[in-house]
Amino acid sequence: MIEKVNLAQKFDLFDEYWSPHIAGELNDSYVKLAKLKGEFVWHQHDNEDELFLVVKGHLTIRLRDRDIELDPGEFVIVPRGVEHLPVAAEDAHVLLLEPKSTLNTGNVQSERTVTDLKRV
Give me the pLDDT at residue 51, please: 97
Indicate the pTM of the whole model.
Answer: 0.91
96 belongs to a structural domain: yes
In 3-state terms, what secondary structure has residue 9? Answer: helix
For residue 85, CA distances in Å to 25, 44, 63, 106 come to: 25, 9, 7, 11
pLDDT averaged over consecutive 10-residue blocks of the chain (120 residues)? 94 96 96 97 94 98 98 97 97 96 76 80
Per the structure, the count of domains in the chain is 1
**Domain containing 72 — which CATH number?**
2.60.120.10
14: domain range?
7-119
Q: Indicate the length of the chain as a whole number.
A: 120
Judging by beta carbons within 10 Å of its beta carbon (0-12, 13-18, 19+), is residue 110 exposed, middle or buried? exposed
2 belongs to a structural domain: no
